[in-house]
Structure 1
Amino acid sequence: MPIALRPSQSLRLLQQFSLSEVRDDAPDLTLRQMAILLTIYLDPPPHTVRGLAARLGVSKPVITRALDTMGALKLVSRHRDESDKRNVLIRRTVEGALYVERLGDAIIAKAMELPI
């Protein structure tokens, strides 16, 4: 069932979620990094640097820098495409899947706290 939120409620939800993430010990991702991570985990693979850049409307170096950070956090991994060495495939990791699942749970928890 869809949840109907007023704009002020949706912004409050975003604020409360953001505050909980800032206070948590979990990795502190930028909005761009979060968009890339969610695209990798919510859209079907395969994912490439080129494909992510096109999907998000940013340059390949922007994607590469974000993947550097997320790779260091073990949220994603990169591998050369054996069938086309020009492509770098982005893969999900167990750590990344757990992180994304925790994000979903945190958003639900904050939504439940919203006044009706």
Structure 2
Amino acid sequence: MNYIPLILSGVFLNAFAQLFLKKGMLMIGYFDFSLVNISQIIFKVALNPFIILGLACYMFSVGLWLLVLSRVEVSFAYPFLSIGYIVTAIIGYAVFHENLSFNRLIGIFFICLGVVFISKR
């Protein structure tokens, strides 16, 4: 059976978790960790809908990942997690206007190449 769609579902959920967490933290903004404001920050983080959505994506991605690991070798499945780097870099660039330099694009290319090599049995 081909488990790559199941693996990729977990990878994409994990990547979207990062993006939702980023959006949530952009809404909260910069803050200093200190005992004076810790309760206020915890309150803001705990009630932010994007943070909650990001954590939910993580929860489901872990469930999928456990399913994957029960069916395929970890040395086959784990390299696919690097696809999450690609997804987050591209969406980070498109949505959050983050830097996507030539060096990062070259790195993404090598990640893709590596995943292709790993996925060939």
TM over 0.5: no
Query: TM-score with structure 1 length normalisation?
Result: 0.34
Higher helix share: 2
Of the two structures, which has the highest relative contact order with CA contacts closer than 8 Å and spacing of 6 or more?
2
Query: TM-score with structure 2 length normalisation?
Result: 0.33
